[in-house]
């Protein structure tokens, strides 16, 4: 399998941009696109892409995709640059609700 070449330079993104797409190409290669999805904002190892993500505006939303055998790309989760996941915050809310129910029962 022939690997695609990385873009010659990373794209400069607009600071008002709020949507980004984070793709896992293979276990060691990741790519980050803005909403235009024309040229990569970051391409390389997870640590490199994570460093670029940490510099994004905190109000941005990032959709994370991984390759899937039948569907092509499958969205695994969405999160914000400050590392709060919408899924994890919902799970935390459910745990907090269960704790409060147990306290009420006592």
pLDDT at 84: 54
Count CA within 13 A, CB hemisphere, residue 29: 9
Indicate whether 64 belongs to any domain.
yes
- The tens-digit pLDDT sequence of the chain (106 residues) is 566 666 556 677 777 788 999 999 999 999 999 888 888 889 999 999 988 888 888 888 899 999 988 878 888 888 887 755 555 555 556 656 666 665 655 5
Q: Is residue 56 part of a domain?
A: yes
The number of residues making up the chain comes to 106
Q: How many domains does the chain contain in total?
A: 1
Identify whether 6 is part of a domain. no
Domain containing residue 99 = 19-105
Does the pTM of the predicted model rise above 0.85? no
Please, is 98 exposed, middle or buried when counting C-beta atoms within 10 Å of its C-beta (0-12, 13-18, 19+)?
A: exposed
Asked, for residue 46, whether it belongs to a domain, the answer is yes
Q: Evaluate whether residue 73 is within a structural domain.
A: yes
Residue 39 lies in a domain: yes
Q: Which pLDDT belongs to residue 40?
A: 87
Would you say residue 70 lies in a domain?
A: yes
């Amino acid at each position: 399998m022939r690997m695609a070449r990385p873009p010659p330079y990373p794209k400069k993104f607009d600071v008002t941009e709020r949507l980004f797409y984070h793709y896992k190409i293979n276990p060691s290669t990741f790519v980050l696109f803005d909403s235009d999805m024309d040229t990569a904002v970051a391409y390389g190892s997870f640590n490199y892409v994570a460093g670029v993500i940490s510099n994004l505006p905190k109000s941005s939303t990032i959709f994370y995709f991984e390759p899937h055998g039948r569907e092509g790309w499958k969205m695994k989760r969405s999160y914000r640059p400050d590392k709060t996941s919408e899924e994890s915050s919902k799970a935390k809310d459910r745990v907090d609700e269960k704790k409060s129910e147990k306290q009420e029962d006592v």
